[in-house]
Structure 1
Amino acid sequence: MADTRPLSISRRLLLAGGLLALPARALAARGQIVTILGDSITAGLGLPAEAALPAQLQLALARLGVASVVRGAGVSGDTSGAGAARVDFSVQPGTAVAVVALGGNDLLQGLDPKTTRANLERILVRLKQRHIGVVLAGLKAPPELGRGYAHDFDTVFPSLARAHGVTLYPDLLAGVGRNRALNQADAIHPNAQGVKIIAGRLAPVVARVLAKQV
């Protein structure tokens, strides 16, 4: 999930919508603000901005009748630790709900699940201190990493959601992961159709959390 374009996709998405220069108040007038804090999967590596998850989630929410502005805060290559280090900068003022979608690069690097948990916990605590609603998007570790490791990693997300009273979306790649037809050639990053599926499944969960923030 490594890449050398940290904020380019998110920036292009905002520019495309004419949103980059708008203050939070003006953005809020267009709908509640959702920020996706993530890595290359949420940044849309290998896809045009309009096909990436932020744009597709905004469209999926609109189909549910939910006006929103979805900000992309995905940085390719980011681990949970990198996300924790930039959470205050990346989840900007005016955000009603943050979708926290980190951990894929922790898996690729074989990081201790305890480290992933501690990093994600820092993010959740900070977002709650700022009164931002949270959707914690989990991931499932591939069994090739070993049954014990996979179990420990998989339990990080539900246990954190329970401990901090946030909404859990159990598996960001549900219905898409390991499906060749829905992924790019690297077999890691979803293609445009895969992203649409993710956005469609994620949108109702985000909508419910948004409704609580009004």
Structure 2
Amino acid sequence: MSALILGLLMFLGMHSSRIVAEGWRTQVIAQRGPGAWKGLYTVVSLVGFGLIIWGYGQARMQPVVLWESPVWTRHLAALLVLVALVLLAAAQVPGNGIKARVHHPMVLGVKVWALAHLLANNTLADLLLFGSFLVWAVLDFRSSRQRDRAAGTVYPPGSAGRTVVAVVLGVLLWAAFAFWLHGLLFGVRPFGR
């Protein structure tokens, strides 16, 4: 469990630099340059992500069950992950209406993804992993919206065609994960044994 916790601290810590240490982040970029910051950010994030994967895998071998998860929570989670992956796709498709409306669809998608997995899973490792990502996403979304307001950021309206592209990509990504990749990568098939 310690590897999972250390990984979460490293990964989410780096991804929280604009939330809790904007001045320090700005100072490092000014002193060392944007390339050095991106390098540090990337290395710490990758090491943290690796520790999260390894630590979560280790914790799943001896799970500490905290509550019983009703079967219906898996179905709700699948629906919520569909929404999360549409939001993720919207973050990547420029000029779509979803991004124009929510401004930070990737962070909102992480919120929905984490909540979905908290509902469907019931171990201490799940609570640590998905709960940490949910708390981070809530704080990051709030911080991002505050920065937008302070900077007077205006998001251009999206086109219907690009919005359809984002939705279709999200649905295709969801189908690939739900019916194939999730089982292959994580050993859990949302719609099968």
Shorter-chain TM range is: under 0.3
TM-score by length of 2: 0.22
TM-score norm. by structure 1 comes to 0.21
Looking at secondary structure, tell me which structure has more strand per residue: 1
More helix by share: 2
* Higher relative contact order (Cα pairs below 8 Å, separated by 6+ residues): 2
